[in-house]
Chains A and B, each alone.
Chain A
Amino acid sequence: AQTVTQSQPEMSVQEAETVTLSCTYDTSESNYYLFWYKQPPSRQMILVIRQEAYKQQNATENRFSVNFQKAAKSFSLKISDSQLGDTAMYFCAFMKREQDSGGSNYKLTFGKGTLLTVNP
């Protein structure tokens, strides 16, 4: 079974600074997807960024970027120029294709989350 580990239960950063959230995963698959989700107090789960394992180039979305190290099975999220609105719980997630009696589907596995606080 796949596992996703976020080793930092909580982190804090000053506004305008840069912070990196860690995520490691365990899999024997070669083709999969990785995600970072943001969960604000509203309990929404907002997709921040995604990375396909077959792509070597690290994904970037505005102030959010990832450092994807496939051999090390590491997928960290960097937030640049942190803003107060970035305060949230962040979940790393792994998705792979599975075959079962119902056909093929994509199974999503979440880490336990990192609570990020951006301080003014």
Chain B
Amino acid sequence: NAGVTQTPKFQVLKTGQSMTLQCAQDMNHNSMYWYRQDPGMGLRLIYYSASEGTTDKGEVPNGYNVSRLNKREFSLRLESAAPSQTSVYFCASSELSRPRHFGDGTRLSIL
């Protein structure tokens, strides 16, 4: 089925470890987004990419880096994981400026 695919579905890290969350969409969308979901806070935008080759910071970019590898893929990297980054991460994509299609989420726990 067409849509947004995130990997892995869940991950446990130790403080200080690094990892990359992968996201791919097969709808030929220009825009892609990374959000984190924390209890009582809704979804907060980490980074977004309006088109291939461009990335911009969202509300909570500190501690994260992103790469728009090509039109399909938008990865999120934690260089040195911290317990405060324990969250559920959502990738999304859209044709225009606002995300419409969400992945299933990646649950990340940092000990």
Contact surface of A with B, Cβ cutoff 8 Å = 37, 39, 41-47, 89, 100, 102-103, 105-110, 112-113
The one of A43, A89, A108, A113 in contact with B48, judged by C-beta atoms closer than 8 angstroms, is A43
The one of B10, B42, B90 in contact with A46, judged by C-beta atoms closer than 8 angstroms, is B42
- Which of chain A's residues have a CB closer than 8 A to the CB of B9? 100, 102
Query: Can you list 12 A-B contacts with CB-CB less than 8 angstroms, sorted by A residue number?
Result: A42-B45, A43-B45, A43-B48, A43-B98, A44-B44, A44-B45, A44-B59, A45-B43, A105-B88, A108-B37, A108-B88, A108-B90
Determine, out of B22-30, B67-75, B76-84, B101-109, the stretch whose residues face the partner at the interface.
B101-109
CB distance from B11 to the nearest CB of A (A): 8
CB distance from A11 to the nearest CB of B (A): 16
Task: Confirm or deny: B53 has a beta carbon within 8 angstroms of a beta carbon on chain A.
Answer: no
Contact surface of B with A, Cβ cutoff 8 Å = 9-10, 12, 33, 35, 37, 40-45, 48, 58-59, 88, 90, 97-102, 104-105, 107
B12, A113: Cβ atoms closer than 8 Å: no
A102, B43: Cβ atoms closer than 8 Å: no
- Which of chain B's residues have a CB closer than 8 A to the CB of A42? 45
Residue in A41, A42, A107, A110 with the greatest tally of chain B CB atoms within 10 Å? A110
B40, A107: Cβ atoms closer than 8 Å: no
A47, B42: Cβ atoms closer than 8 Å: yes
Considering the chains assembled together, what is the distance between the CA atoms of A105 and B109 in angstroms? 11
**Contact A108-B99, Cβ < 8 Å, known A44-B59, A45-B45, A47-B41:** no
Across the A-B interface, the 9 shortest Cβ-Cβ residue pairs: A45-B43, A47-B42, A102-B10, A110-B102, A105-B107, A45-B42, A46-B42, A43-B45, A89-B98
Considering the chains assembled together, what is the distance between the CA atoms of A103 and B101 in angstroms? 26
